[in-house]
């Protein structure tokens, strides 16, 4: 019988929680076995409740404060380089590629941290109108985001499935499958960071088992799918999401200002010009 080295829990609402079903699945990394939660329908519902509260807390912070929080998370990641290095190497990466991936992950965190107090100026604009008014397009974050992480064993790709929506002020439910160990390890750094509870939730499981629950949930405002999914899964997601006008983004951009735009909505403000 193979011994389990560690049993992980989901990270929801700032707490480590077992799946409501009590079910887990096993992941093998270099002859070591780990148990991770098999997320259930009830777990998804609980995560949405936590994410809604987290969204309110994340929104209360000023853009400058958000920058500080994300930059602090990059410092914590750098403080645990050896652990991430070991997980990546155990997942099959060479020592050189693992180091490169961690370096890119740190760079990504720092870049998005720097964007947290700049994206609004870069995406909003003053519109020309016929009249003595200012017409201003103002961007706001859209709310709770469900993000399906790629199965690639990469800390950088994991972060790039989270940071675009988190940077704009959305709260995130990040869902991982075969690379859940990396995601749940990241949850430990998130727990020790200054992110408000519920702003970022980390879950593991089998997406095909919760696809209906996620796509039908009316309080999930958008789904960002970074993983390759089947044609049938795309049809299920789009048909279910249409009932609540949920936004669906399949393989969205992960770089530059373009990566932030899907998670913003435009509101227009009219204001009379002074004389």
Which has the closest alpha carbon to 114: 158, 77, 167, 76? 167
pLDDT digits (tens, 9 = 90+) for 173-220: 999 998 999 999 999 999 998 999 999 999 999 999 999 999 999 999
Contacts of 129 (CB under 8 A, 6+ apart): 135
SS3 content of the chain, % helix, strand, coil (to 5): 45, 25, 30
| Burial of residue 218, with CB atoms counted within 10 A of its CB: 0-12 exposed, 13-18 middle, 19 or more buried | exposed
Q: What is the band of 130 on the pLDDT scale with cuts at 50, 70, 90? A: confident
Indicate whether 1 pLDDT > 60: no
- CATH fold group of domain 51-272: Aldehyde Dehydrogenase; Chain A, domain 1 (3.40.605)
**Contact call for residues 143 and 173 (beta carbons, < 8 A):** no
End-to-end CA distance of the chain: 82
Indicate whether 77 pLDDT > 70: yes
Q: Where are the beta strands (DSSP E) in the chain?
A: 4-7, 10-12, 15-17, 24-29, 32-37, 125-127, 133-141, 144-148, 171-176, 200-204, 222-225, 247-250, 264-272
Residue 160 in tokens: 């790039």
Region 19-31: mean pLDDT is: 89
Collapsing DSSP to helix, strand or coil, 141 comes out as strand
Q: What is the band of 31 on the pLDDT scale with cuts at 50, 70, 90? A: confident
Region 16-32: mean pLDDT is: 90
Which has the closest alpha carbon to 69: 21, 121, 37, 117? 117
Structure confidence at residue 131 (pLDDT) = 81
**Contact call for residues 228 and 140 (beta carbons, < 8 A):** no
Region 47-70: mean pLDDT is: 96
Structure confidence at residue 6 (pLDDT) = 86
Structure confidence at residue 275 (pLDDT) = 64
Residue 151 in tokens: 């199965």
């Amino acid at each position: 019988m193979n011994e389990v080295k560690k049993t992980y829990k989901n990270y929801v609402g700032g707490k480590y929680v077992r799946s409501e079903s009590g079910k887990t699945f096993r992941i093998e990394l270099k002859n070591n076995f780990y148990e991770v939660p098999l997320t259930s329908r009830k777990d998804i519902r609980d995560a949405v409740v936590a994410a809604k509260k987290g969204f309110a807390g994340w929104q209360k912070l000023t853009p400058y404060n958000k920058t500080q929080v994300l930059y602090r998370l990059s410092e914590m990641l750098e403080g645990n380089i050896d652990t991430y290095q070991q997980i990546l190497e155990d997942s099959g990466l060479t020592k050189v590629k693992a180091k490169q991936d961690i370096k890119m992950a740190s760079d990504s965190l720092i870049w998005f941290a720097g964007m947290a107090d700049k994206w609004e100026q870069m995406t909003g604009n003053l519109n020309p109108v016929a009249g003595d008014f200012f017409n201003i397009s103002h961007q706001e974050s859209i709310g709770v985001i469900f993000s399906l992480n790629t199965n690639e064993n990469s800390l950088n790709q994991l972060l790039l499935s989270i940071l675009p929506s988190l940077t704009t002020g959305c709260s995130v439910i990040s869902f991982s499958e075969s690379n859940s160990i990396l995601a749940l390890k990241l949850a430990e750094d998130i727990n020790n960071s200054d992110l408000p509870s519920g702003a970022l939730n980390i879950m593991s499981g089998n997406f095909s088992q919760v696809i209906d629950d996620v796509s039908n949930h009316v309080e999930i405002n958008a789904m960002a799918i970074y993983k390759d999914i089947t044609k049938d899964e795309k049809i299920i997601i789009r048909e279910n999401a249409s009932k609540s006008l949920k936004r669906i983004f399949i393989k969205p951009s992960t770089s530059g200002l373009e990566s932030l735009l899907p998670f913003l909505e435009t509101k227009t403000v009219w204001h009379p010009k002074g004389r």
